[in-house]
Structures are given as structure tokens and as C-alpha cells.
Amino acid sequence: MDFGFSAEDQAFREEVTAFAQEALPADWGERAAGINPFEQSTEGEESGDAAWELMRGFQSKLAERGWLALAWPKEHGGAGVSFVRQALFTETMAELRAPVYNQGIDRVGPTIMQFGTAEQQARLLPPIRGGNLFFCQGFSEPGAGSDLAAARTRAVRDGDDYVINGQKIWTSYAHRAERMFLLARSDPSAPKHKGLSYFILAMDTPGISVKPLVDLAGRHHFNEVFFEDVRVPAANRIGEENAGWYAAAASLDFERSGIYRVVGAIRTLHEITALAKQAGADGRRAVADDRIRHRLAELHIEFAAGRLLAYRVASLLDAGEAAGNAASVSKLFGSELQQRLAGMLNLMGLPGQLGAGSARAPLEGRLAYEYLIGVQLTIAAGTSEIQRNIIARRRLGLPRE
């Protein structure tokens, strides 16, 4: 097996790097951890609003070059490149900490291609691939997170509409999104996996209210979303009525297959390694400590393995094979690996606890931030326990009991 890249791939990586470096502020990679494009503050160049506009503008530039939907098939307006090339693009952007997060591109669009009608594809895919629609995900509910099929938000058919009532929670970026992809119960009498439907709805629809949830790092990207007699056109149901579980499962597989879960932190690992080589005058322990050196070596090996796991998912997709099991393996390993990396915070001594904006914060406070948000990594997109269950049952054929 050849683990290298072709000359064309290497040239593409260099082209992407040059483009991003020109399109983003010169010091973006160093201060990106202190910038949250999903906050709604309005003061300063690093405010949420300014960063939001920068992110949307950057993604518009990617769309103009045909890079936002690289791996989408050409018949749906994408570039039709291989999934390995898409993974290479994502890896390069992650190393630069470029703001490319977009659920419409990596989850909603592919789900519509698989389950949507020709009319829905013609209506929804162009604005998604153009970067003109930003999505949030309406899946988790109080009491229906890991057991997503227990969702109770109701969708009742009323003529040409469905009327939605209920609540979603941990909804990332609902306060910024123009659209939501929603899983709701359309047949309460059916078995829980059978009575769900999948919808696309506009977030400015009357009856939707959004309440912020602030995380441990003091950031606002999670939300609670409440629905009170929200009318959604039946034309916005993706797939058959009561068969939404299959569309939702596909969306989750697309989410879990991303290489960013591993490579997004590789740059931080290299920065920690460089910092560890410096003299420890401010309380940091030097790399001469065998325990630190060995732990860093282990992390470099683990990141190399995680990167290959992610590329394995891409290669399976290129071969036309199902990648759900491999995606769960990659997601499980990647999210737990990022938590292990965040555990290197003790290398920084007391200054390591300082956040972005503090003059004495090592690495501009990036590792402190990653330590705080690391708790959620093994919960979002399916908990580690859920991923292990999927691997055990689907891959290894183990019984439920």
C-alpha cells in the first residue's frame, strides 16, 4: 500500500495553503483559538460578528474556486474529486486553522443527494454549495441524546405542512444558522426507529425560539431551541414519512467521517513540542524530562495513526464501500486522542491555565481552551460508548447482550 501522495496532490496542497494564507489575516493561526465566529458580540476586530463575517467571506471565496464542495459529484455542482483529495484539503485547512466548518457541505448536502427528490436537490444544493446557507442540527433532545431514536419533538401533518412542537438541545450555532436539519416524530404509535421524519426548516420561521447555552470555556455555540406550532412545508421533508431515521443515520456517518477530528489538533501538538524544547524559566518542565519526552513521542505516533484511520475512511468511500464502521473507529480514536493531547496542559505549569488575551498565556491560551472544550469531544456526534457499540455490533458481530 502506498501511504504517500501524488505530485498532483502535493501541488494541490501547496495551492490551498497559498490561497488560505493570502485570504486570512497573517496571524490567524496563532490567535484563532481566541476568536469565535459564533459569538454575538459586536466590539473589536476579534468579536463574534467580525469573525462571522470573515468566515462567511472566506467560504464564499472557496465556493467561487469550486473548493467548498470538492467531493460533491459533478452532477450536483461539485468538483467531483476523490474523497482522499477532499481529506487532503480538509487536513490542510485544519493545519492552518482556517474557518471552514459547514454542516451544509459535509452533512446536509450529501444527505439530500442520497434521500432527496430531484426538486429538492435542484432547490437546495446550489445555495448550500455556494456557501449561502449555514445549517444547524436539530437532533438531540432532553432525554434523547445518545438514544436519538427516543426523540419526542412532534411533527403533525396538516395539509401541505407539518406542525412542529417540542425542544432540541445542544444545538450548535442555532443562533447563527439560516436553516436547520431536524429529526421529529411523525408517528408516535410506531416503533421509535420507524416513526421519525427528517426535515429542512428555515430558522426565521414563526414559533422558533433560541436560548443560549454557554460552555465551560465561556463560549456560546450551544443552544436550546424551542418549537411552538412551527409550520414546515411538506416539500421540505427529506425522504419518506416515518423513514427519517435512515437519513439521520446517514448524516451522522458523514459527520463522523471527517479527518478534522484528528488533524485539527496536530498543529497544537507541534507547538507543544516546540515549547517543551525551550528552557523552563517560567515553570514549564523541559523536554529533558524523560516522561514528557516519551509522552510527546506517544502522541506523535497516535496522531500519525489517527490520520491514517481518517484516510482509510476516505479510501473506502472512493472504492464505493460503506464506511460507517470505519467512520466510528476514526471518530472514537480522534475525539479521545484530542482529550489526551489536552492533558498536556500540565506541561505549561500554572501559566497554562491562562486563556486567550493574557500576555503570559502559553500558546495564546489555545491549550487551555482545548482542555476546557475537550469534555464535549467524546459526547458530540455520538458518545464514545455509542461508537463502541456500533463497532461491536456492525463490525465485530457481537450480540447486544
Q: What pLDDT, in 10s, does the model give residues 92-134? A: 998 888 888 898 998 899 999 999 999 999 999 999 999 999 9
What would the grid cell of residue 4 be?
Answer: 504517500
| Confidence category of residue 2, pLDDT binned at 50, 70, 90 | low
Catalytic choice (39, 91, 255, 336): 255
- Residues whose CB falls within 8 Å of the CB of residue 229, separated by 6 or more in sequence, listed in order: 163, 164, 165, 207
Q: Map grid coordinates 481529506 to a residue.
A: 87
Nearest of 362, 368, 347, 341 to residue 285 by alpha carbon: 347
Average pLDDT over residues 341-357: 78
**Residue 255 falls in the annotated catalytic set:** yes
**Positive/negative CA dihedral, 194, 199, 203, 205:** negative
Nearest of 329, 380, 373, 372 to residue 353 by alpha carbon: 372
- Alpha helix (H) residue ranges in 239-395: 244-256, 260-263, 266-276, 290-318, 324-342, 366-377, 384-390
pLDDT at 255: 62
Mean pLDDT score of the chain, rounded to an integer?
84
Nearest of 131, 11, 121 to residue 62 by alpha carbon: 131
Nearest of 358, 357, 311, 354 to residue 330 by alpha carbon: 311
pLDDT at 288: 52
- For residues 253 and 401, give the distance between their C-alpha atoms in angstroms, rounded to a whole number: 24
| Confidence category of residue 78, pLDDT binned at 50, 70, 90 | very high
Judge residue 357's burial from the number of C-beta atoms within 10 Å of its C-beta, 0-12 exposed, 13-18 middle, 19 or more buried. Answer: exposed
CB-side exposure of 75: number of CA atoms within 13 Å?
5
DSSP line for 28-74: HHHHGGG--TT----SSTTSHHHHHHHHHHHHHHHHHTT-TTTTS-G
Asked whether the beta carbons of 242 and 190 are under 8 A apart, the reply is yes
Rg of the Cα atoms in the chain:
21
The length of the chain in residues reads 401
pLDDT at 127: 96
pLDDT above 50 for 43: no
pLDDT at 283: 45
Q: Map grid coordinates 465556493 to a residue.
A: 63
Asked whether the beta carbons of 238 and 155 are under 8 A apart, the reply is no
pLDDT at 41: 45
Q: Kind of pairing, strands 135-138 and 179-185?
A: parallel
Q: What pLDDT, in 10s, does the model give residues 259-311? A: 766 777 788 888 888 887 775 444 445 545 677 888 889 999 999 988 888 88
Which 3 state secondary structure label does DSSP give 224?
strand
N-term to C-term CA, the chain: 38
pLDDT at 231: 98
Average pLDDT over residues 60-76: 93
- For residues 112 and 250, give the distance between their C-alpha atoms in angstroms, rounded to a whole number: 10
- Residues whose CB falls within 8 Å of the CB of residue 210, separated by 6 or more in sequence, listed in order: 171, 174, 175, 203, 223, 224, 225, 226
CB-side exposure of 343: number of CA atoms within 13 Å?
10
Nearest of 260, 257, 273 to residue 341 by alpha carbon: 273
- Residues whose CB falls within 8 Å of the CB of residue 266, separated by 6 or more in sequence, listed in order: 94, 95, 303, 307
Among 212-226, 290-304, 322-336, the range scoring the smallest mean pLDDT is 322-336
- For residues 308 and 270, give the distance between their C-alpha atoms in angstroms, rounded to a whole number: 18
